[in-house]
Amino acid sequence: MHFQWYPGHMTKAKRQMQEDMKLIDLVIELVDARIPVSSRNPELDELGRQKARLILMNKADLASEKLTQSWTSYFREKGYFVVKLDSRNKAGMKNVSDVVMEACKEKMERDRKRGIKNRPVRAMVVGIPNVGKSTFINTFSGKACAKTGNKPGVTKGKQWIRLNKNVELLDTPGILWPKFEDQKVGLNLALIGSIKDEILNIDELSLALTKVLKENYPGILSDRYQVQEDQEPSDILMEIARSRNCVKKGGELDYSKAAALVMEEFRSGKLGKITLEFPSE
C-alpha cells in the first residue's frame, strides 16, 4: 500500500506558519505518543530552529508507559522540553504550564533587562492532523476555543487564544509534509488515523497492524480474540472474524468487518497500551 496525502490548503498553511514564527517565543509541538517520530513534521525543525521547543507526547494513555519514558529521555537529550499527557482527561496539563514558563525563562529575563514588563509568552501550537491539538488547546485554556473532531483536518485557520496574563497561544492548522520518504512513516500515520480512512484500504491496513502486533506484542491478539497467533496475519483475521461472529448474509465470514474491528480496537486503546516505534530503531 502506498501512502500519500497532501491537501492544497497545507501548502498555504506552511507559508503562513513561516510568517507567524516571527511573532512567537515558543513552539509547542504535539506528537502522538504511539508514534513519536512518525507523527513529527520534520519541516518544523527548520521552521522553528531559533525558538524554544516543547514536545507534548499526547495520547500517552494509549501508549506503552515504558516506551513513552524512553522517548521522553530521547527528546530531552536532543534539547527539547518534553511533557507526556492525555489532553482529553487533563492528565499532565499542570506540568505543561510550568514547563512553558521554564522554556521561556531566558526570554523573560531578557525582556526584564530591557525594561519590557508583563509581555505574555507567545506560543505557537503545531502538530500534524489528528494528534489532538484542538482538544489540548480547549483543555489547556479551559474553554472551547478550537474546533475538535476525531478526524484529520478540522482546524482550518489560525487563531490567537489568551490563556492568562502570562501566555498567549497561536493555534494553527495541522500540516503534513508533502512526501513520505519512508513508507513506514506513512503506514504509522495511517494506523493512528492521521490519514483519512476514506483513501485507504482498511483490510490491508489491518493486516499490517496484525503483523506488527504479532511481532512486537505477542499474546495481545490471542488474549483479546482467543485466536492462535502462530499463523499468517490473514489467517489470524479470519479467525478473529470467526471468534467475533463477523459474518455476511449466508453465513460467510466477513473478513472486512473483522479488519475494521481490529483497527477500531487498536485506536481506542481496547487492545492495550501500544507504541509502534522504538527509540532503539
DSSP one-letter code for 142:
T
Q: Where are the beta strands (DSSP E) in the chain?
A: 26-32, 52-58, 81-84, 121-126, 159-162, 167-171
Environment class of 47 (CB within 10 Å of its CB; exposed 0-12, middle 13-18, buried 19+): middle
Residue among 59, 63, 57, 110 nearest 80 (CA): 57
Q: How many CA atoms lie within 13 A of 258 on its CB side?
A: 26
Region 124-153: mean pLDDT is: 71
Question: Look-up: residue for cell 515504558?
Answer: 66
Describe the strand order of the beta sheet including 159-162 as a list of residue ranges.
Answer: 81-84, 52-58, 26-32, 121-126, 167-171, 159-162
Lowest mean pLDDT among 98-102, 144-148, 210-214, 229-233: 144-148
pTM of the model: 0.85
Q: Name the pLDDT band for 175 (thresholds 50, 70, 90).
A: low
User: Which residues touch 146 (CB under 8 Å, ≥6 apart)?
Assistant: 133, 134, 137, 138, 155, 159, 161, 171
Indicate the SS3 state at residue 189: helix
pLDDT tens-digit profile of 26-53?
Answer: 999 999 999 999 999 878 888 888 899 9
Region 19-24: mean pLDDT is: 87
Question: Look-up: residue for cell 493512528?
Answer: 192
Indicate the SS3 state at residue 253: strand
